[in-house]
């Protein structure tokens, strides 16, 4: 990682929502997606170095709150994230998040960042990165079922990273599709508004499903999906939530991030525990084959994993020195004598008294 100003390790760079938006706009949205993808590829290719554990989840009737930790032995990172589909009806975000990086050698935090925007960017970059390795050769058209908060990020990632030119949109809420079309206007995509899932997937080389309902759902049925496609299944990301009919899975060659987590949260929770899947990092390092036939159905069963957040935070930290978009937080106590924390409080009282407080 690049060194940051300030050099005072007791001050922690903080990237607020406002800072994050300015960083992304200064670098460019598509450039940011490509940059995060580069960092993801670097980390996926050193996958075996990382600590790996399924996310720690606290589920309720209304949603889920999760912690997602990992470390490469030098830097530790975690993300706090929630998922509450009901929130949109109350004018709130479905997903909010923040993340931390820390120096393993000292345990001191080196970055605190918003991750609501950053999670959308890293999810889209991960989707497009997987498709780059798995999609049919010459893919130019993508159907996107579910046009909520993730949709524009996914569309631009596939355009910038995979060369997608046509976007076929469908959502049960037509206003969501209209918003997505408006937001993507002038960005070089040929956008087709569709009136059903079936019409959206017709002629598409890639199918992205990214819906929000927290339930077993069948967004795509088996008869909708022909050969020679890549499916990017993003929306199924917790126990009891799926988007694809089981028969589609049985026809597909399935790729995942981390099997112990995906078998609990992903589309493959519908399958037997020993059903064979391939880890994406193995394809990227050449240890396993990806698509082996143009007529295959490949499926990336994406649930999001901590290493992806680590990569995104690492990318943002490396942009701070050149953008200057961060604030320094006084988060780490710095007593004159590390053993005298109480004395530091007493000296603070004396300072307050001298100032008449």
Q: Write out the DSSP string of 239-293.
A: TTBEEE-HHHHHHSEEEES-HHHHHHHSGGGGS-TT---EEHHHHHHTSS-----
Helix (H, G, I), strand (E, B) or coil at 80: strand
Ordered by where they begin, the domains of the chain are 11-117+308-353 (3.30.1780.10), 136-304 (3.40.50.720)
3-state SS, residue 26:
helix
Considering Cα of 105, then 110, then 114, then 115, what sign does the dihedral take?
negative
If residue 175 lies in a helix (H) or strand (E), which one and from where to where?
A: helix 174-183
Q: Is 167 helix (H, G, I), strand (E, B) or coil?
A: strand
Six-digit token string for 151: 């949709």
CB contact at 8 A, 23 and 316: yes
Helix (H, G, I), strand (E, B) or coil at 357: coil
Q: What is the pLDDT of residue 2?
A: 44
Low-confidence spans in the chain with pLDDT less than 70: 1-7, 212-216, 236-238, 356-357
Category of 28 on φ-ψ map: left (φ > 0), alpha (ψ -120 to 50) or beta: left
**In Å, what is the CA distance from 236 to each residue of 134, 194, 264?**
19, 22, 10
pLDDT, position 315: 98
Catalytic residue among 43, 171, 237, 309: 237
Our answer to whether residue 337 is catalytic in this structure is no
- Which of 61, 135, 185 lies closest to 291, judged by CA? 135
pLDDT of 357 reads: 63
**In this structure, are residues 237 and 213 in contact, taking their beta carbons and an 8 Å threshold?**
no
pLDDT value of residue 50: 98
What is residue 4's predicted lDDT score, i.e. its pLDDT?
43
């Amino acid at each position: 990682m690049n060194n940051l100003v300030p050099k005072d390790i007791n001050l922690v760079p903080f990237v607020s929502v406002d800072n994050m938006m300015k960083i992304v706009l200064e670098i460019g949205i598509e450039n940011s997606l490509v940059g995060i993808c580069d960092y993801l590829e670097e980390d996926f290719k050193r996958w075996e170095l990382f600590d790996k554990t399924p996310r720690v989840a606290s589920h309720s009737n209304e949603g889920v709150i999760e912690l997602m930790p990992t470390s490469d032995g030098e830097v530790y990172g975690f993300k706090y994230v929630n998922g509450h589909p009901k929130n949109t009806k109350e004018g709130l975000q479905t997903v909010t998040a923040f993340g931390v990086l820390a120096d393993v050698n000292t345990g001191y935090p080196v970055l605190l960042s918003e991750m609501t925007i950053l999670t959308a960017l890293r999810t889209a970059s991960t989707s497009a990165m997987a498709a780059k390795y798995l999609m049919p050769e010459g893919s130019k058209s993508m159907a996107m079922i579910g046009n909520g908060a993730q949709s524009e990020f996914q569309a631009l990632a596939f355009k910038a990273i995979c060369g997608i030119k046509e976007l076929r949109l469908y959502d049960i809420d037509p206003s969501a599709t209209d918003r997505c079309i408006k937001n993507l206007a002038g960005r070089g995509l040929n956008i087709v508004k569709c009136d059903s899932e079936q019409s959206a997937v017709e002629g598409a080389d890639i199918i992205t499903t990214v819906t929000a309902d927290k339930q077993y759902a069948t967004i795509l049925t088996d008869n909708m999906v022909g050969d020679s496609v890549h499916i990017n299944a993003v929306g199924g990301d917790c126990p009891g939530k799926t988007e694809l009919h089981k028969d589609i899975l049985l026809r597909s060659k399935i790729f995942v991030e981390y099997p112990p987590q995906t078998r609990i949260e992903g589309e493959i929770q519908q399958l037997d525990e020993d059903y064979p899947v391939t880890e994406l990092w193995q394809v990227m390092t050449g240890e396993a084959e990806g698509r082996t036939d143009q007529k295959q159905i490949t499926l990336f069963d994406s649930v999001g994993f901590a290493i992806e957040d680590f990569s995104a935070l690492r990318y943002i930290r490396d942009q701070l020195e050149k953008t200057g978009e961060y604030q320094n937080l006084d988060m780490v106590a710095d007593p004159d004598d590390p053993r005298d924390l109480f004395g530091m409080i007493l000296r603070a009282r004396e300072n307050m008294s001298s100032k008449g407080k």
